[in-house]
Chains A and B, each alone.
Chain A
């Protein structure tokens, strides 16, 4: 460990692994460490032994759940939105060669005390109970407006300005009912709360287009998912990094982040060894406890909490047409909350659990001091629950850009249903570390010899 590195990365979560992969390809000498003996950090997928070790240290997994190795239970419930930024990074870096993806079978929304499919075809839209006949015509006009919008062609604008007019104005222009607005804003634009309504319409427009183009790509839902769980994603980027010379050390306790008199980063101490580097990137959990140590500097702030309940079921979720995987969104208005509740379910189809087991993860932003009560409306939709693991995770954000001390901290995984904010964080950290925007280059594929 007496070599000196360009960058040390702490934590093998997806954000950190994408960064170390890209940095290694860029020619940086990277040392990537994790305190755990598995890859994935806060975004890992765990087998049964690891899952029980984390949530029930004194209990071993029941035999009725089947083989340990068949399990890869995600700690953070997210799906990949097919036309999103993560897909672009996966394709550009060519890590897709290490991965295999399947669709998520359905996308549902909770409304008026029942689960309805988010329509994916004209046919489904016509028969959907989500809108009445007249409302369907109004919605059709609204979607045609979005599809036909061209920035440089005012005749497509119908007198609206997406950058100035609020989404409220756009909804009103097309006379859409509150229930339809709920469905569009939460089940398609995937907003967690209603703050977007009074803001300019442009980001909402972008999000709806992202949703519909993702939907159009593979058909059943806008989402895809890697076989063997989300934990495969950080592993594939770690492999990319390693192929380009990155050094990996798991199971390595991080005891101190060493800085000089001016507070600038010097190195990382593990036990009696200190390894030096020019820059440090780390997930926020490495900067909360005593490891952050030196002079008690506050490097991360908690800006909220997420409650997540991993539920093992022995059946598909009632009302989802027996889907082997799905997302169910419970818009905040439907249950008198400020933030939506999400259910993400995957199964043996995705090689993440034994046959006839279904892994549903319920999550939302914590609003009260009784988070478990907050998720009850979603839990009640699941039917009998075989076992449940609840966690309440703080969402950390760095207090500084890192440019003054060369310590660059990533953000916690938020409550959104996909990875778009993770990629935003990657782009943000990249810019802070390198000093210029992240530009994806097509990876040289000469390592394949036919």
Chain B
């Protein structure tokens, strides 16, 4: 019998490093050169097949621009199983920003969170400001996964998500309380608001 595991993945990184483009490439295999800041698309899902028996479904949370003025809500980090922290290899300041986000994750997120540091815009490597050695050394020190990607060409994109899927602990089926487990009423311990009452305003029996 095949098993599906579900995980919440959050994206972090400075504005314009290509967080949304990375997800768009991963989820829809598309790229848009003139993509505007994230609007209206902040909750995507994509499934990675690990082997015949195992698939991993990512519920991907984009920052929706709330990172711009350091105004990300605690809700964003809550129950995140994994995080992709993105920097732009052509902007050395963006790696500094990535370090700040990683510190924030270590402070706010669950200690078991899997973090991948991702240098994007590999297609622009001619203008590279961040060396592979520097980024990898930092990632190793902090115990992070590390890779470089190009959302534009697709290079390295599927690989990083697959690598994260492989690193996640596939112990408990999606009963883990990821935000992702909110799809089926059976999977949640709480109440389902979307389930309508029998006849709103007119209860079937008096309770008194």
Contacts and interface: CB of A to CB of B under 8 A. Distances in A.
Interface string B36-59: 001111111110000000000000
Interface residues of B, number: 44
Contacts of B70: 250-251
Contacts of A100: 177, 182, 188-190
A102 B191 contact: yes
A228 B75 CA distance: 9
Nearest to B63: A242
B75 A101 contact: no
Interface residues of A, number: 56
Contacts of A121: 207
Given A97-B182, A245-B39, A235 B73 contact: yes
A98 B179 contact: yes
Nearest to A249: B69
B171 interface: no
A140 B193 contact: no
Contact of B203 (A38, A119, A212, A238): A212
Given A102-B190, A218-B191, A449-B28, A228 B78 contact: yes
A140 B208 CA distance: 7
B200 A224 contact: no
A210 B197 CA distance: 12
Contacts, number: 139
Contacts of B43: 97, 243, 447-448
Contacts of B2: none
Q: Give the dominant DSSP class at B's interface.
A: loop
Contacts of A210: 201
Given A139-B208, A216-B205, A247-B65, A239 B193 contact: no
A83 B198 CA distance: 11
Contacts of B69: 247-250, 252
A235 B202 contact: no
Contacts of A236: 75
Interface of A: 38-39, 69, 82-83, 87, 90-91, 96-98, 100-103, 119-122, 125, 139-140, 143-144, 146-147, 209-210, 212-213, 215-218, 224, 227-228, 232, 235-236, 238-239, 242-245, 247-252, 447-450
The 10 closest A-B pairs by CB, nearest first: A242-B64, A248-B71, A216-B203, A235-B73, A143-B206, A235-B75, A249-B69, A250-B71, A243-B42, A213-B203
Given A212-B208, A242-B64, 13 more contacts: A83-B200, A102-B191, A122-B205, A139-B208, A213-B200, A215-B207, A228-B75, A238-B66, A242-B65, A244-B39, A247-B65, A249-B71, A447-B44
